[in-house]
Chain A
Amino acid sequence: MIKVKNLFHSYSNDEKYAVNDISFQVEKGEIFGFLGPSGAGKSTTQNILVGLLQLQKGEVEVAGYDVKQIKNKMFNKIGMSFEQSNVYNKMSGLENLEFYGKLFDVETRDPMDLIRMVGLDGKEKIKAGEYSKGMKHRLTFARSMINNPEIWFLDEPTTGLDPAIASNIKDIIKEQNEKGVTVFLTTHNMYIADELCDRVAFIVDGKIRLIDSPKQLKLKYGEKLVEVEYYKNGELLKESYSTVVEEEKNKLIEVIGSNDIQTMHTKEATLEEIFIKVTGRGLV
C-alpha cells in the first residue's frame, strides 16, 4: 500500500536532510508504526506521503499513486488524523463532518455514526470552538474516517486524551484494521506502538535505524528471564530465572511446583528500552 524508496527531504534545499535516504514498504492490512523522538523526521515523511510536502528526491507510492504527481483521487483512499486538531471552530462538530464528507468522490460515512463512535454524541451541535482539547482531537480523528479510507495516517492519535478515551481510540484503530484498513501510525509513544503495531520503524536524525515487529525486537533485544514472587516459610521472595540456562529452568520448575506463587512475569524489554539500545537516543 505504501512504497518508499531512497527518500530525501531538505527544508533548506541543501545537503542538510531532515529525511535522509529512507526506504520501507507497508503492506495491505498492516499497522505500521513510525517511531522516533521529536525532530527525527517522522512528520516530514508523513507529510510527503500525504502530499502536504512536495517530494524532492526519491520514489513514493501511496495506494497505487505516484506521490510525485498527486491526483485528487488519491485522497479518496486516504484518511489523515493530525496531531494538532484542525477543525472549523465556528462550525459544530456535526457540521464539520458533514462538510468534509462532501469533499470526497466516494461513499462517505454517516457523520452521526462517527460522532457516536468517538463519544461526542450529545455534543454534535455545539461549536467545535467550544470543545475541549480532547474533544477536538476526537473530532479530528473521526473526520479522518469519513471517507472509509484504505490507508489511514494517524499522527499521535492518543496524545492529550485521558486513558479511557485513549483506550477507546485504540479499540477503534484495531477494529478498523480488522476490517482491512492499513494504518500508518506516527508516534513517540512506545506503549501504543507496542500494543497496536505489526511492525515498527525506528527513525532518528532522518534515518531509519531498524524495521521489525515488536515481538521480534523483544526476542532479539529483551532479556530471556522470568520473574517470580512466591511465599516460602511465610516469607515473600522475589527471584529471576533464565529461560535459556538449563539449571535455572529446572529451578523455576521446582519453585512453581513447591511454593505458593504470587506473581510471575516474563521480563521482556520494552520498546522504549530497545529504541534506546538501538539508537542510543531517548524519545523526547
Chain B
Amino acid sequence: MKLWYSFIKELKLSSKSWYFYIELGMAIVLLLVLLFVVPENFDTKSKEYIYLDLPQVVRDRFRDNLLEEDLDELSQKVEVEANNTIYAAELYETVESNIYLLDSMEALDAFSNSERVPAVHVRVNEDNQIVQTYYLQGYETQKLKNLLLVFQNSKAGHDVIEDYRDNIVVKSIYQDAEPLSDKENILPVFLTFNGSLMSLFIIAAYIFLDKDEGIIKAYAVTASSVWHYLLSKIGVIIITSIATTLIVTVPIMGLQPNYPVMILFLVTSGFFAASLGLFLTSYYKDIVQAFGALYIVIVILIMPNISYFTPSWDPDWVKIIPSYVMLQSFKEIISVNGNMSYVMLASLGFAVLGMDIFILANYRFKKTLTL
C-alpha cells in the first residue's frame, strides 16, 4: 500500500510539474511535424542533366530507350533554371531518377558550373563512336566513378556485365515484413528517445530536485522503504512515456502497431533507462556535477542513430548499445508482421538488466542519503 500511496503522490506531483507538460507538449509538436511537415516518403530520385550532341537518328534512338524506362512512357516539355537563365528541357521520369535532356552545351555548362550537379555530354567522335563525358564535381568517390563505368559499359552492350547484372536476385531478409514509409521509419527514433531514453534524464531531473529539497531524507526516516520512493518515480515516468508514445503513434500508424507488445516494451525499456538514471544520480549531489556523466551517456546512446539511418555502418559494438536494440524493437513493433520474438527477447533483457541496476541504485541511494 505504501508503494501505491507513493505512486499516487508522485503522479499528483508530476501533474503539477512543468516537466510533465513539456513532455506532452513535445509529443504534440512532434505529431504535428510528422503529420504536416514530413512527407510520407522523401524524394530520393537523383537528377541527371544530359545534352545529346548527336545526329538526329541516334538522338531519336536514345530518346526511345529513355521512353521505355519512363514511368508513363511519355516525356514532358519543361523549363529548368540554372544561373538565373531559363532553359528548355525534356523530362523523363524513371523509377530511380529524373532525367533532363538539355538542348544546348551552354545549358549543360550552366548546370554543371552554377548548380553543381553531375551533367553528361553525349557525342559521337571521329570514329563514329558514342562518347559520354561526365562533368563531376570533384568530390565523387572512386566507387561512384567505377559504378558509372560499369553502368556505361552495360549500356554499351557488354553482354557479360549485362547478363551478370540481370542474374542478380535481390531478396528481402524479412520477406513477411512490409517496409515502412520514410515517415513511419522516423517514428522508432522518437519512440526510443522520448519513450524510453528520456526516462533516464527525466528521473535524474526529478531526483536532483528532490535532493535539493531534502525530500529523500524525509522519506528515509519513515517506515516505508527507499525502493518504494524510487519505484514510484519510475512508475510515473513510464506512465508519461506511454502517454506521449500513444499521442504520436496512434494518429500516424493507426492500428498497425502491436500495441500490447509496444506497451510491454515501453515498460521494460523505460524501467531499464530510469534505473540507469537512478544509478547515475546516486553518485552526484546535483545536476551540475552529474552533467559530465549524463553528456557521455547521451553521446553513446545517440550512436545507434547513425547505424539506423545508414544501415551499411553497423559494427558489432553499436549493437550492444541499448538504444540500438530499442530502435530495432520499435521498428519491429510498428511494422506489419514485425519480428515480435526479437521484441519479447529484448523486453526480457531490459527487464532483467533494469532489475539488476535498480537493486544497485537502491543500495547506492541507501548509502548516500545525506549527499
Binding site for B on A (CB under 8 A): 47, 50-54, 72-73, 75-76, 78, 80, 82, 84-91, 99-100, 102-106, 140, 143, 147
Q: Which residues of A contact B13 (CB under 8 A)?
A: 88, 90-91
Q: How many of chain B's residues have a CB under 8 angstroms from any CB in A?
A: 25
Q: Which residues of B contact A78 (CB under 8 A)?
A: 221
The 7 tightest CB contacts between A and B, nearest first, are A86-B214, A103-B222, A103-B224, A102-B5, A80-B221, A75-B223, A90-B16
Binding site for A on B (CB under 8 A): 1-2, 5-6, 9, 12-13, 16-17, 213-215, 217-225, 366-367, 369-370
Contact of A52 among B2, B222, B370 (CB under 8 A): B370
CB distance from B39 to the nearest CB of A (A): 42
A78 to B9, alpha carbons, bound, how many Å? 23
A143 to B223, alpha carbons, bound, how many Å? 14
A-B contact pairs, 10 of them (CB 8 A): A51-B369, A80-B218, A80-B221, A82-B214, A84-B214, A85-B214, A88-B215, A91-B13, A102-B2, A147-B223
Quick one: given A52-B369, A53-B369, A54-B367, are A103 and B223 in contact (CB under 8 Å)?
Answer: yes
B223 touches A76 (CB 8 A): yes
A72 touches B9 (CB 8 A): no
A72 to B227, alpha carbons, bound, how many Å? 12
CB distance from A248 to the nearest CB of B (A): 54
Q: Which residues of B contact A99 (CB under 8 A)?
A: 5, 9
Q: Across the two chains, which residue of chain B brings its CB closest to A77?
A: B223
Contact of B221 among A50, A84, A105 (CB under 8 A): A50
Q: Which residues of A contact B367 (CB under 8 A)?
A: 54
B217 touches A52 (CB 8 A): yes
A47 to B215, alpha carbons, bound, how many Å? 15
A72 touches B224 (CB 8 A): yes
B222 touches A91 (CB 8 A): no
A140 to B214, alpha carbons, bound, how many Å? 11
A87 to B212, alpha carbons, bound, how many Å? 11
Q: Across the two chains, which residue of chain B brings its CB closest to A72?
A: B223
A143 to B218, alpha carbons, bound, how many Å? 9
CB distance from A151 to the nearest CB of B (A): 11
CB distance from B364 to the nearest CB of A (A): 12
A239 to B2, alpha carbons, bound, how many Å? 66
A87 touches B218 (CB 8 A): yes
A250 to B305, alpha carbons, bound, how many Å? 97
Q: Which residues of B contact A52 (CB under 8 A)?
A: 217, 220-221, 369-370
A82 touches B222 (CB 8 A): no
Q: Which residues of B contact A86 (CB under 8 A)?
A: 213-215, 217-218
